[in-house]
Structure 1
Amino acid sequence: MNEIKAVLFDMDGVIFDTERIYLDIWTKVFDKYGYKMTKEVYVSVMGRGRKNVIKTFLDVYGQDLPIIRMYDEKDDSLVQVIDKGEVPMKFGAKEILNFLKENGYKIALATSAKRDRLNKQLKMGDIKKVFDAIVCGDDVINAKPDPEIFLKAAKKLSVNPENCIVIEDSPAGIKAAYNAKMIGLHVEDLKKSDEEIMKYCHKSFKNLLEIKEYLKR
């Protein structure tokens, strides 16, 4: 831990409280089309990118699922929520970002979200200037748990992977950090820590303020 030079953040469920909003929107869209979205199914696709989400939903609900039309409706609803400023930042987000900045850590955002949405959310939170590098879903070919997004972020920061911490809420993100040979710190959101997460992360925390205190020590 003494060799840490950079901290890489996921966005949804880590910096912004988006995952609950995602689940609520998906639940309503699935209800409209006569299907039932469950928390377990949604958690299984968190952070995995659109192609993997579509594949999983088709595998679970059948190939007749009108997923492209449903995805368009989900996207439209999410844009409305973001445009209304109804996506809050997670508890402790600004505090940990300020702490890292003040103590000389490099900071990157590595999110599966598309650039248009991430720019809207960063503007809403007024935190874009905090990040030394940003890598989004538009910049990578392989979604988490592939390590590509974290390795690209580290390269942008000019920091070796072993000198990076990754803060993630999803199982896919934690596995991606592990696959990148980085130190993964899990922060609970919709997904609480379990045996699988603990297998791949360095430590799990209830919120970002706990992580801030851990880094201070």
Structure 2
Amino acid sequence: MIKAVLFDMDGTLIDTEKYLTRFWRQAAREHGVEMTVEDSCALRSFASRYASQWFAERFGREADYWEIRERRKELMSRHLEENGIEKKPFVEETLEKLKEAGYLLAVVTATDEERTRQYLTSTGIIGYFDRLVCATMVERGKPYPDVYEYACQVTGCKPEECLAVEDAPNGIRSARGAGCHVVMVPDLTGADKELAGLIDGELESLRELPAFLGEMGI
């Protein structure tokens, strides 16, 4: 029986992934590195200590991942300050139904705790969540299972009692690695053959989530 629903944040609850990928490419270009859209998508929910290794393999050791990352954060912070943060469609409607149904709700994100609280507060949805779990709270972030294993601990639920809601490959791998059920609500990309074997289902939007939970039969 599912007792807890564990939500990724960027690209799942809030519409920030499009800016993450956009500003990764802009920051890289400023430093003489040409990233493709696919390159920038690969960095979604990728813990920085592992993303830096991937970056060096992809672009060479002379490409300064950490400097580019700081510039990306600067560009994105400025944009969000000037334009605000958009919620994904049907967020509040879905969270309201899940709370009424008695599910424990948590956020499980690669974003640090300060920005997680800032983003969820500014969008007015932080009050729906019983727990906030950030990759900075564990040794290894996504795609490793640590952050979801920790989420299970702090919610007091077994992995098989948790449904993770994710939009990106690294988050899906993390949740499945921890033994959680996983549903994908695609943002920038859908499920490929590999991901299709890791998820319990793929939804068009969060609006379908309450019904999906009802149909799981566990």
For this structure pair, what is the TM-score category when the shorter chain's length is used for normalisation?
over 0.9
2:106 is paired with a residue whose SS is: strand
Aligned partner of 2:41 among 27, 43, 47: 43
- Name the CA distance, whole Å, in 2 between partners of 1:207 and 1:45: 22
- Greater shift in the superposed pair: 78-87 or 159-168: 78-87
CA distance in 2, matches of 1:125, 1:141: 29
Maintained 8 Å contact 1:85/1:124: no
State the identity as a percent: 28
CA distance in 1, matches of 2:107, 2:83: 20
Pick the aligned partner of 1:134 from 126, 132, 140: 132
Structure 2 spans left out of the alignment, 5+ residues: none
Contact 1:82–1:120 (Cα < 8 Å) also in 2: no
Residue of structure 2 equivalent to 1:185: 183
| Aligned counterpart in structure 2 of residue 121 of structure 1, from 114, 119, 122 | 119
Which residues of 2 match residues 49-198 of structure 1 at below 5 A? 49-198=47-196
Residue 82 of structure 1: CA displacement?
2.7
How far residue 215 of structure 1 moved from its aligned partner, in angstroms, is: 2.6
Secondary structure of the residue that 1:71 maps to in structure 2? helix
Q: Given the alignment of the two structures, is residue 203 of structure 1 paired with residue 198 of structure 2, yes or no?
A: no
Shift of 1:137: 2.1
What is the DSSP-based 3-state SS (H/G/I as helix, E as strand, rest coil) of the residue aligned with 1:134? strand
DSSP 3-state at the match of 1:84: helix
CA contact (8 A) 1:45 1:52 kept: no
**What secondary structure is seen at the aligned counterpart in 1 of 2:5?**
strand
- 1:66 maps to a residue whose letter is D
Instruction: Give 1:64 deviation, angstroms.
Output: 0.5
Letter in 2 for 1:189: D
Letter in 1 for 2:172: I
Deviation track 1:47-70 (CA, whole Å, cap 9, x = no partner) reads: 121112221111111110122221
The equivalent residue for 1:14 is: 12
CA contact 2:25–2:40 (8 Å) conserved in 1:
no
67 and 145 in structure 1: CA distance in 2 versus 1, 3 angstrom threshold: closer
CA distances 1:89-143 after superposition (whole Å, capped 9, x unpaired): 1112111111111110000101010112111101111111211111112201111
Shift of residue 85, structure 1, vs aligned partner: 4.5
Q: CA RMSD in A?
A: 1.4
For normalisation by structure 2, the TM-score amounts to 0.93
User: Which sits farther off after the overlay, 8-17 or 88-97?
Assistant: 88-97
Question: 2: distance between equivalents of 1:58 and 1:164?
Answer: 35
Deviations 1:175-212 (A, max 9, x none): 11211111100111112111011011111112111223
CA distance in 1, matches of 2:71, 2:143: 26
Residue 154 of structure 1 aligns to a residue whose secondary structure is helix
Query: Quick check: 1:14–1:189 contact (8 Å CA) kept in 2?
Result: yes
CA separation in 2, counterparts of 1:92 and 1:197? 24
